[in-house]
Each structure stands twice: as C-alpha cells, then as structure tokens.
Structure 1
Amino acid sequence: MFDKLFQAQQKAEEIKKRLDTISVFGEAEGGLIKVEATANKEVKAITIDPSFYEDADLEELEELLTVAVNKAMQQAEHISQTEMQAATKDMLGGLGGMFGQ
C-alpha cells in the first residue's frame, strides 16, 4: 500500500514538472496584448504591440492585461485538471488491485 502512495506522489511530481513545460496563452484586443504562462499558472511573458500605445490609456491597458492573464490562467486550469484526472484514473486503476478488483 505504501508503494502505491509513493507512486502516486511521484506521479504528482511528474505532472507538476510536465505542466511547467506546457505553455498557455491569453490574448486581448485582437492579439495586441499577449500573455504567456505555464500550465502551472506562472506568467512567463507579457507582450504589448507598440501600435496599442497610440490610442490606449492606462486604465484600458490594465483592463486588457487582466483579460489576457485570466484567459491564460483558464487554459492552464483546464490543462492541469485534465492531467490530474488522467493521473487519478490511472492511480485508481492501480489501487483496484489492492482491493481484489
């Protein structure tokens, strides 16, 4: 039983490492503002097209950055949940053998 728990812990660490390598993106204003993050919800880069500055003000920039970051975080959450569900399914399948199933 402890072997299974150790394997589950190792699997969780593997998933976390894999999520660090997956990039997600959020955009606003037709791609003029872009956010890149990992599937572990760590923002890696924010890019703002110089043409955006011509007509934008600070309040608009802040609102659009929030939109882009939230889109990236939603993608990250979706990927993370999918990975964890797959791992849980695999783990529960392995635990079934412990209970004679």
Structure 2
Amino acid sequence: MFDKLMAAQQKADEIKKRLDTISVFAEVEGGAIRITATANKAITAVEIKEDFYKEADKEELEELLLTAINKALTQAEQVSAAEMQAATKDMLGGLGGMFGG
C-alpha cells in the first residue's frame, strides 16, 4: 500500500513539473495586451503593443490587464484540472486493488 501511495505522490510531482512546461495565452483588445502563463498559474510574460500603450489611459490599461490576467489564469486552471483528472483516472486504475476493486 505504501508503495502505491509513493507512486501516487511521484505522479503528482511529475504532473506539477509538466504543468510548468505548458503555456496558456490570453489576449484582450484584439491582441493589444497578451498574457502568457504556465498551467501552474504563474504569469510568465505580459506584452502590450506600443501603439495601444501610448493611446490608452491608466484606468483602461489597468482594467484590460486585469481582464487578460484573469483570462490566462482561467485557462491555466482548465488545463491543470484536465491534466489532474487524466492522471487521477490513471492512478485510480492502478490503486483499484488497494480498495478491493
């Protein structure tokens, strides 16, 4: 039983590492602002087109940044959940004997 739990922990660590290698993107205003994040919900890049930056006022820029960041984090959460669900399904198949299944 302990071996199966250790294998499950190792699998979870592998998933976390893999999520760090998956990038998600979000854009607002037709690509005027683009946010890149990992599937582990770490923001890795913020890009703002220079012509948009020069024309936007502070409040508009802040609001659009929040929108873009939240979109990126939502995408990261969806990818993370899908990866975890797939891994859990695999692990439960391997742990089935542990629960009398």
Same-fold call, TM > 0.5? yes
Q: Name the residue aligned to 2:4.
A: 4
Spell out structure 1 runs of 4+ moving beyond 3 A: none
**1:69 corresponds to:** 69
TM-score by length of 1: 0.95
CA RMSD in angstroms, aligned pairs only: 1.0
User: Could you list the runs of 5+ residues in structure 1 that have no partner in the other structure?
Assistant: none
Structure 2 unaligned regions, length at least 5: none
Matched residues, number: 101
The one-letter code sitting in structure 1 at the alignment partner of 2:24 is V
- The answer for the alignment partner of 2:50 in structure 1 is 50
Letter aligned with residue 73 of structure 1? L
AA in 1 matched with 2:51: S
SS for the counterpart of 1:41 is coil
TM-score scaled to structure 2, two decimals? Answer: 0.95
Aligned equivalents of 1:39 and 1:54: distance in 2? 31
Deviations 1:21-76 (A, max 9, x none): 00001111110100001000000010000110232100000000001101110110
